[in-house]
Amino acid sequence: MKPLTLAGLTTRPAQTWGSVRLVPLVRRAPVPDLRLHRRVYDEPSVVDVGDGTVYTSFIPHAFVATWTDTDGPAAAYGTRLLEKDDAGLVSRNLPIKVRRRMARRVAKDRLRFLPLHLAVEGYLALHFGGPEIAWEEWSQRALRGGLSPRSERTYLGLAVQGLEDALGIFEVHPGQCGVMVYVADALAAAFVVPHPDDYRALHATLVEDLFGETIYQYGLLNLPAADMDVRIDGTRVRSLADLRAQAGRRQAEWAAFHDEVMAGELFDPDGTYQAVQHLNRFELGRFLPSFSLRRENHIGEAITDKRGRVAYLKSFRLSDGQVRRGYLLTRLAAHGWNLEEAATALGTNAAGLGMRLERAGFGYLLCQDVLDHYRAQHRRGTAPEKR
CA dist., res. 260 & res. 298, Å (int)? 16
Q: Quote the pLDDT of residue 169.
A: 93
Confidence of residue 96 (pLDDT cuts 50, 70, 90): very low
Residue 326 near residue 121 (C-beta atoms within 8 A): no
Q: Quote the pLDDT of residue 16.
A: 94
Confidence of residue 332 (pLDDT cuts 50, 70, 90): very high
Q: Quote the pLDDT of residue 278.
A: 85
Q: Quote the pLDDT of residue 50.
A: 56
Q: Quote the pLDDT of residue 47.
A: 52
User: If you average pLDDT over every residue of the chain, what do you get?
Assistant: 83
| pLDDT winner (highest mean) among 25-34, 67-76, 96-105 | 25-34
Which tens digits make up the pLDDT trace of 219-249? 999 888 988 877 887 888 889 998 898 888 8
Which tens digits make up the pLDDT trace of 349-377? 999 999 999 999 999 999 999 999 999 98
CA dist., res. 144 & res. 334, Å (int)? 20
253 membership: H or E segment, kind and range: helix 240-257
Q: Which amino acid is at 245?
A: A
Q: Quote the pLDDT of residue 366.
A: 95
Side-by-side strand order, sheet with 34-40: 34-40, 61-67, 110-113, 103-107
Q: Quote the pLDDT of residue 229.
A: 78
Quickly list DSSP for 300-317.
EEEEE-TT--EEEEEEEE
384 versus 177: the higher-pLDDT residue is: 177
Which tens digits make up the pLDDT trace of 10-31? 999 999 999 999 999 999 999 8
Report pTM: 0.81
Q: Quote the pLDDT of residue 69.
A: 58
In angstroms, what CA-CA distances link 165 with 38, 141, 224? 22, 46, 15
Confidence of residue 185 (pLDDT cuts 50, 70, 90): very high
> Helix 350-359 vs helix 368-379: angle between axes, to the nearest 10 degrees?
110
In angstroms, what CA-CA distances link 347 with 50, 352, 385, 386? 38, 9, 8, 6
379 versus 188: the higher-pLDDT residue is: 188
Residue (of 302, 241, 357, 335) closest to 113 by Cα position: 302
Question: Is residue 288 scored above 60 in pLDDT?
Answer: yes
Residue 76 near residue 37 (C-beta atoms within 8 A): yes
Question: Is residue 85 scored above 70 in pLDDT?
Answer: no
